[in-house]
Amino acid sequence: MGAEMLQKGAVSARDVALAAGVSRTAVSRTFTPGASVSPATRAKVIAAADALGYHVNNLARGLTRAESGIVALIVAELDTPYRSRLVSALTDRLQTAGKVAMMINTDRSDASVEAALKQAIGYRTDAAIVLSGMPDRALADMCLRNGLRLVLINRDEAWPGTIRVRLDDEEAGARAARTLLRVGSERPALASSASATASLAARAKGFRAVLAAEGVVPIEAVFGATSYETGLALGTDLFSREARPDGIFCVTDLLACGVIDAARHRFNLRVPDDLSVIGFDDIPQAGWEAYGMTTFRQPVTAIAEACVAWLSGPAAGTEAETVRLSAEMVWRSSVAASGR
Amino acid sequence: MGAEMLQKGAVSARDVALAAGVSRTAVSRTFTPGASVSPATRAKVIAAADALGYHVNNLARGLTRAESGIVALIVAELDTPYRSRLVSALTDRLQTAGKVAMMINTDRSDASVEAALKQAIGYRTDAAIVLSGMPDRALADMCLRNGLRLVLINRDEAWPGTIRVRLDDEEAGARAARTLLRVGSERPALASSASATASLAARAKGFRAVLAAEGVVPIEAVFGATSYETGLALGTDLFSREARPDGIFCVTDLLACGVIDAARHRFNLRVPDDLSVIGFDDIPQAGWEAYGMTTFRQPVTAIAEACVAWLSGPAAGTEAETVRLSAEMVWRSSVAASGR
DNA sequence: CCCGACATTGCACGCCTGTGCATCAGGTTC
DNA sequence: GAACCTGATGCACAGGCGTGCAATGTCGGG
């Protein structure tokens, strides 16, 4: 009936204590697992808390405790199939681990990554998961000094107090090359963006190495950002050449979609009859009937699992750790059947 | 050289004060815009802060201030093109407004939305932007009582202290119907998922209303979740019927992609020659050459803009506000040219 | 030289919680 | 009945910050 306490601020433990006729300590203990409170008191507190709509202030709790429960996700181009899948998996996993994700956008520039990390420090984030862009050594040290653990995904650098999560990109690239050779591709090609990412470089490296061992030099098209539009451009470039490729490894599904569309709609080529295409990531669109793309599946849930497990574990000393996961091949219809 | 202060916790204002030989107050004032500090003191403080890697603790700051600077984004199925675009726009906009986004996943169930909101309250979020799922009235009141402002996107309910952001979905549906009629469609169809969303329902309603005025009853296929796979199923259902539709309005691009693929790859139909398709959202894939979909563009940046503007504004009284935005039509090649 | 205006600085308090320590009630054992 | 143990409870403090208030120092004007 008489609903007081409607001012402006949130309802605090003192309000609950007042309403329940107990001390504020009792309220605190009620919401602290393992603390000593009598069932009677606890019941009174819970009743009052429910009536007032009380919730423990995690900010204040984070002041005293060493952990705030917040983990920063630092990411560029979230509106991209692979990224959004990974972020979704990460937030999911963090939540079930009792933590919560704070999203910080960057534009891939070093400056914006630095700003993002500083903001993360400002909120006393337990850790930061960096999906894109690269903090330099000094920045990483600053994070460490502020008790902020760093998770680097798809990066080569390894620093103290840091965990790296990597895929077997090189092996996947090699497998792509072997697959194309087995299909009988005589003019295999590599399509990649110009973005200097460790994982993209590793995929290309593995691809080239296998071909080189067979004495084959791949046709290459490398430019642009990692996007569908670049894929289109790469495709039209490749198919306009004298020696038209008959098998293409695209370091990313997004690129592969563009390449396939260029082949079909701009050059009237049939996939896989005239051309085999292999991608990487297994974004949802790779499974769409318009593409039916043979590709490598990013183990997003395994990646998320590894990150969160490390975060939940004890603050491992100062050695850098590395987690390696493998990308399973997914067979669809963009590669001639004999290749399997 | 002598790097002390390497314990465990983060570096605090007191550490900086000690290093700079000033009071902790001076440090606080240095980082508080508009506070009174002499240039000399400020310089000493900044130097010490840089050397130690100090960053103001936003958690503690949020304790005193009324605002924490955190805004919760409550969303399901983030790994979906439209959602990820919207979330990306929102986090971007929030950041430039000096706030930061906290991502909370839900599985669309009411229970998980409730849990999400409670977590948001726990972190004394300034506001919560609900992209999917629906808090009930009691829950909204609890938020309000805790000083948490609520932004509801694509919802019908309007409650005190809340803002709704809506599109002119009904008008768009109507326009889709008029467009199909103009192309000469004799058997127009509606494809929708079974998810009971206000916006989807409004699109369908507008579509049906225009047709009804012309004495036409659309062929309808309505089932499943809002996904590409459902689109495939809807398409195969529709194209298997006696009276095969020659124009389809899909309430979502994701559905439309599935419908187009079903038409092309399962029934050998040509788009737009045998069939016109209109979607909604303008997800990136709608612009891909494989689809070239005519659709309605979700004004994601305008939506984000509206949300953040409201959040940054004064805590408007207790009336519910509503923002209406319009979805511009995007012409591509999935509708016969004469339709324009 | 004196006085008022003003900028700067530090003390102390409040914000909200968790927790060590002391207190106290209640019950058990001899 | 006394000594003792146990579980519950409250006090007081810490944690990092912003800010009102008072004190100090500085400068200009008269």
- A218-275 tens-digit pLDDT: 999 999 999 999 999 999 999 999 999 999 999 999 999 999 999 999 999 999 999 9
Nearest residue to B49 via CA among B92, B17, B79? B17
A307 pLDDT higher than 90: yes
Q: Which amino acid is at A331?
A: W
- CA dist A305 and A151 (Å) reads 12
Average pLDDT, integer, range B311-339: 82
Q: Does B101 touch chain A (CB under 8 A)?
A: yes
Work out the percent of chain B whose per-residue pLDDT is above 70: 95
Residue with tokens 């439309």: B256
B312 pLDDT higher than 70: yes
For A56, residues 6+ apart whose C-beta sits below 8 A from its C-beta are A13, A31, B122
Q: What is the pLDDT of residue A339?
A: 53
pLDDT of residue B338: 62
Q: Which nucleotide is nearest to A30 (CA to C1')?
A: C18
The β-bridge relationship of strands A162-167 and A295-297 is: unpaired
Task: Answer whether any strand C atom is within 7 A of the Cβ of B25.
Answer: yes
A65 touches strand C (CB under 7 A): yes
Q: What's the whole-number average pLDDT of chain A?
A: 90
How would you class B235 by CB atoms within 10 Å of its CB: exposed for 0-12, middle for 13-18, buried for 19 or more?
A: buried
pLDDT (0 to 100) of residue A241: 95
Q: Do the beta carbons of residue A272 and residue A296 sit within 8 Å?
A: no
Q: How far apart are CA A280 and CA A328, in angstroms?
A: 10
Is residue B224 pLDDT above 60, yes or no? Answer: yes
Q: Work out the pLDDT band at A158, boundaries 50, 70, 90.
A: confident
A positions 252-281 inside 8 Å of B (CB):
257-258, 260-262, 264-266
- Chain A residues 10-39 with a CB less than 8 Å from chain B: 10-11
Query: d(Cα A194, Cα A122) in Å, to the nearest integer?
Result: 34
Q: Residue B157: its pLDDT value, please?
A: 78
Cα(A169)–Cα(A238) distance, integer angstroms: 23
Q: Strand pairing partners for B149?
A: B127
Q: Extract the runs of DSSP E, i.e. beta strands, from chain A.
A: 70-76, 100-106, 127-130, 149-153, 162-167, 188-192, 219-222, 247-250, 276-278, 295-297, 321-325, 328-330
Q: Rounded to an integer, what distance in angstroms lies between the CA atom of residue B22 and that of residue B46? A: 12
> Please, what is the average pLDDT of chain B?
90
User: Please, are residues A90 and B96 in contact by the beta-carbon 8 Å criterion?
Assistant: no
**Contact at 8 Å (CB) between A47 and B44?**
no
The token pair that represents B198 in the structure block? 């206000």
Q: What residues of chain A, 49 to 78, have a C-beta less than 8 Å from chain B?
A: 52-53, 55-60, 62-63, 66, 68, 70, 73, 77-78
Separation in Å: C17 C1' and A11 CA? 13
Q: Answer yes or no: do A78 and B87 touch at CB < 8 A.
A: yes
Shortest CA distance from A142: residue in chain B: B53
- Which sign does the torsion angle of CA A14, A17, A23, A25 carry? negative
Average pLDDT over residues A13-17: 93
Q: Tell if the CB–CB gap between B289 and A262 is shorter than 8 Å.
A: yes
- Is-cis flag, bond preceding A272, omega within 30? yes
Radius of gyration of chain A, Cα coordinates, nearest whole angstrom: 26
- What pLDDT, on the 0 to 100 scale, is given for residue A133? 72
**Nucleotides in C strand less than 7 A from protein CB:** 7-12, 14-20
Ordered domains of chain B (ranges, CATH): 13-56 (1.10.260.40), 69-167+300-327 (3.40.50.2300), 169-297+330-339 (3.40.50.2300)
Interface contacts (A, B; CB < 8 Å): 187
Q: How confident is the model at residue A1 (pLDDT cuts 50, 70, 90)?
A: very low
Chain B contact probe: residue of A109, A288, A303, A318 with most B CBs at under 10 A: A288
Distance, CA of B257 to CA of B80 (rounded, Å): 13
Give the model's pLDDT for residue B340.
56
pLDDT digits (tens, 9 = 90+) for B161-218: 788 899 999 999 999 999 999 999 999 999 999 988 889 999 999 999 999 999 999 9
Judged by a CB distance cut-off of 8 A, whether residue B87 touches chain A is: yes
Which of A47-51, A75-79, B116-120 has the weakest average pLDDT? B116-120
